[in-house]
């Protein structure tokens, strides 16, 4: 298990991605799974910066990676505003692009890209999103 803390800045998304990519490759995931993890983690970390912290440099993101027998577990933790995924509306799909609302698309993509996604919030631990990608 590896844990690193990153400042909540958009410029650190590249560092987070590299950290996650190296672990995904070490876990034996194929290229498409590695790419899916990169996209999901990038979206989740961006959401933390923009929504939990309401902007850059307002806190930090804790990223814990655990290579598990079936693949890779990624845990992102922040201490920003609480997040309830049930409050995010499902995006409207199958409509012309100009009618698609961006709200909820990131969460939709995270859930589609990863095999398992869980959100938790507590006063002590803050917001935690746990994502698992399994080998094929």
Buried b (16+ CB within 10 A) or exposed e, 37-66: bbbbbbbbbebbbebbbeeeebbbbbbebb
Q: What is the pLDDT of residue 2?
A: 97
Mean pLDDT of the chain: 90
How far the first Cα of the chain sits from its last, in Å, is 22
Q: Is the pLDDT of residue 90 over 90?
A: no
Q: Is the pLDDT of residue 41 over 90?
A: yes
Cβ neighbour number for residue 123 with a 10 Å cutoff = 7
Q: Is the pLDDT of residue 93 over 70?
A: no
The pLDDT tens digits for 50-86 are: 989 998 889 999 999 999 999 999 999 999 998 777 7
Domain at 2-134, CATH class: alpha beta
Q: What is the pLDDT of residue 15?
A: 97
Question: Taking the model in full, what pTM does it have?
Answer: 0.88
Domain map (residue ranges) of the chain: 2-134
Q: What is the pLDDT of residue 105?
A: 78
| Residue 103's pLDDT band (cuts 50, 70, 90) | low
């Amino acid at each position: 298990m590896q844990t690193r803390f990153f400042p909540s800045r958009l410029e650190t998304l590249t560092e987070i991605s590299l950290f996650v990519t190296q672990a995904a490759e070490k876990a034996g995931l194929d290229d498409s799974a590695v790419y899916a993890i990169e996209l999901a983690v990038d979206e989740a970390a961006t959401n933390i910066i923009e929504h939990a912290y309401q902007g850059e440099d307002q806190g930090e993101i804790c990223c814990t990676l655990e290579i598990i027998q079936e693949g890779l577990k990624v845990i992102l933790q922040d201490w920003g505003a609480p997040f309830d995924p049930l409050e995010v509306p499902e995006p409207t799909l199958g409509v012309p692009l100009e009618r698609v609302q961006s709200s909820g698309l990131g969460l939709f993509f995270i859930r589609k890209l990863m095999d398992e996604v869980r959100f938790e919030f507590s006063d002590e631990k803050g917001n935690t999103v746990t994502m698992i990608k399994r080998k094929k």
